[in-house]
Amino acid sequence: MSTDRSPAAGKEQILARNPKARHDYHIMETWEAGLVLTGSEVKSVRAGRASLKGAFGVFRHGELWLEGMSIAPYESGGYANHVRERPRKLLLHRRQIRHLIGAVEQRGHALVPLDIHLQGGYAKVTLALGKGKKVHDKREDLKRRDAEREIARTMRRRR
């Protein structure tokens, strides 16, 4: 008997991305964390109505919380709908949380969500430990990306 919670169990379906995360931060490490949501939030996230723009991770009383994430109210939610922006708890093992607390407090890194995805019927967040980029680093990345794009374009023309 299978314990899968959805027909697409095992497949990962990305529902929302943080568009500026890789542009604004050097990504050091990534983790996958569970996301505590209410029923109407899950339905709204599955409909693709979530935004990670400006979201970040915060520690409170030894727990990890996601601030700044916006989930639009569920259209058929009625009076029991959720609040659009509220702190949402992230689920990680205690050992992982301690590691992250040390990295954020001692080294000055930030916790940045990269995406929200469904895995086995559960909503998960890919969380990254990132170090903020300077303006010149961002410019270098843009130049490098443009150069790679141009090289790929010329290679396609030659074929």
Per-residue pLDDT tens over the stretch 13-31: 888 888 888 888 888 889 9
Torsion sign, CA atoms 37, 93, 20, 150:
negative
Report whether pLDDT(5) > 60.
no
pLDDT at position 74 is 82
Per-residue pLDDT tens over the stretch 36-95: 988 888 888 888 888 888 888 899 998 999 998 888 888 777 777 777 788 999 999 999
- Tell me, yes or no, whether 95 lies in a domain: yes
Q: What is the residue range of 48's domain?
A: 12-133
- Tell me, yes or no, whether 4 lies in a domain: no
Report whether pLDDT(113) > 90.
yes
Report whether pLDDT(9) > 60.
no
Per-residue pLDDT tens over the stretch 115-157: 999 888 888 999 998 888 788 888 988 899 899 999 999 999 8
- Tell me, yes or no, whether 81 lies in a domain: yes
- Tell me, yes or no, whether 147 lies in a domain: no
Which H helix or E strand runs over 77?
Answer: none
- Tell me, yes or no, whether 122 lies in a domain: yes
The C-alpha atoms of residue 104 and residue 75 are separated, in whole angstroms, by 38
- Tell me, yes or no, whether 140 lies in a domain: no
**Hey, which residues does 151 pair with through a beta bridge?**
none
Q: Is the Cβ–Cβ distance between 57 and 127 less than 8 Å?
A: yes
Query: Using alpha carbons only, what angle is made at residue 98 by residues 96 and 103, rounded to the nearest 5 degrees?
Result: 95
> Residue 9 — φ and ψ, nearest 5°?
-60, 140
pLDDT at position 6 is 46
- Tell me, yes or no, whether 63 lies in a domain: yes
Strands (E) across the chain are located at 12-17, 25-35, 50-51, 56-60, 63-67, 70-71, 88-91, 110-119, 122-132
Residue 88, CA atoms < 13 Å, CB-side half-sphere: 26
Query: Using alpha carbons only, what angle is made at residue 134 by residues 129 and 139, rounded to the nearest 5 degrees?
Result: 110
pTM of the model: 0.75
- Tell me, yes or no, whether 32 lies in a domain: yes
pLDDT at position 3 is 46
pLDDT at position 11 is 67
Q: What is the CATH number of the domain that holds 43?
A: 2.40.280.10
Q: How many domains does the chain have?
A: 1
SS3 assignment, position 42? helix
